[in-house]
Copies of this chain bind each other. A is one copy, B any other.
Amino acid sequence: MTGPARAAQAAVIALDVGGTAIKGALETRDGVVHRRIDLPTPVADGVGAVLAAVVTAAEELRPAPGDLLTARGAGLIFPGVVDSSAGVARFSANIGWRDLPIRRLVSERVGVPVAIDHDVRAAGLAEARLGTGRGVDEFLFLAIGTGIAGAVVTRGSVVAGASCTAGELGHLPVHPSGDRCACGQLGCTEAYASAAALPRRYLAQGGAGPVRAEDVIARAGRGDRIAQRVLDEAIVALGRALVIYTLVMDPALVVIGGGLARAGAALTEPLRDEVERGLAFRPAPRIVISDLGSDAGRRGAALVAWKALDEHA
């Protein structure tokens, strides 16, 4: 070798593990993605198969010798009850984990320090540091996808709660005598307003399928009365959830993310009206669509990795 070797640039492996896909990236601190991977989550094959797929994704993302990058650590995020201090997946219905010491298991196999966190709380962290919530001390990040969950941000930090389950806005009893939710409770927000609920409710009310949530919203915009009713009911449910959040936490801002955020103004405009109607004695917080979009999870996973590295430096 001639001449001095160039120093390798530090990077982290960001892994967002969901019920259908494992999305990963190798990124430097400036947020530049140097490699990407997207694998199906083999939930049907069991706990061991999902773990093996996570390890495969991490290994695929590791820098090759010629990359002039070095993987300093990994950030792994997923839905469920995530105990980030203990490094344990307490429970994740979507990916089949229960009391799994996932931080240690992945770290041993991949050979870098691993930090874990809840997917929506990590996305909320990304919104707070890099996105629409930057500089706002008090806000809610609400992810509306197949399920609905929130990241509670106060004094600029994301709240995990006493048992790592803060932000369950998808399961607020917005219709206390309403439809039974898959969780066992009655009238939960996500039984009316998730990306899974919209097509299910549209078909149940006689709408023609197959449809996705975005189709229901688009059809409402074109005058489909069943679609409009289903969308209206979703807005009522989301509006009540945000009224409740506003009364409890007094946020300055609500940032909407997740797949349904792609509906944009078709979602936020009626939602703003609904929240204003529901609050009699105080103004509503601003309600906006996330500007990180579908990158919020990946950016959050990377931040979780960097944060852990900085704290142990």
Contact = CB atoms under 8 A, between A and B. Distances in A.
Nearest to A176: B240
Interface in A226-254: 240, 243-245, 247-252
B249 A248 contact: yes
Contact of A244 (B150, B244, B278, B281): B244
Interface in A14-47: none
Interface stretch (A2-10, A163-171, A200-208, A259-267): A163-171
Interface in A160-182: 160-169, 171-176
A279 interface: yes
Given A161-B138, A183-B280, A247 B152 contact: no
A244 B173 contact: yes
B245 A279 contact: no
A192 B215 CA distance: 41
A159 interface: yes
A174 B175 CA distance: 9
Determine the main DSSP class of A at the interface with B. loop
Interface in A134-160: 137-138, 150, 152, 154-155, 157, 159-160
A285 interface: yes
B166 A137 contact: no
A168 B137 CA distance: 19
Contacts of A283: 163
Contact of A247 (B138, B171, B176, B250): B171
Nearest to A248: B248
Q: Which of A138, A240, A283 has the most chain B CB within a 10 Å cutoff?
A: A138
Given A176-B176, A176-B240, A240-B176, A249 B166 contact: yes
Q: Which of A137, A247, A251, A281 has the most C-beta atoms of chain B within 10 angstroms of its own C-beta?
A: A247
Max chain B Cβ within 10 angstroms of own Cβ: one of A157, A172, A240: A172
Between A157, A161, A171, A248, the greatest number of chain B beta carbons within 10 A of the residue's beta carbon is seen for A248
B281 A164 contact: no
A175 B35 CA distance: 51
Interface of A: 137-138, 150, 152, 154-155, 157, 159-169, 171-176, 183-185, 240, 243-245, 247-252, 278-283, 285
Given A152-B248, A155-B157, 18 more contacts: A137-B162, A154-B159, A159-B249, A161-B250, A162-B285, A163-B282, A163-B283, A165-B250, A165-B282, A168-B248, A168-B282, A169-B247, A172-B244, A173-B244, A175-B176, A176-B240, A185-B279, A248-B248
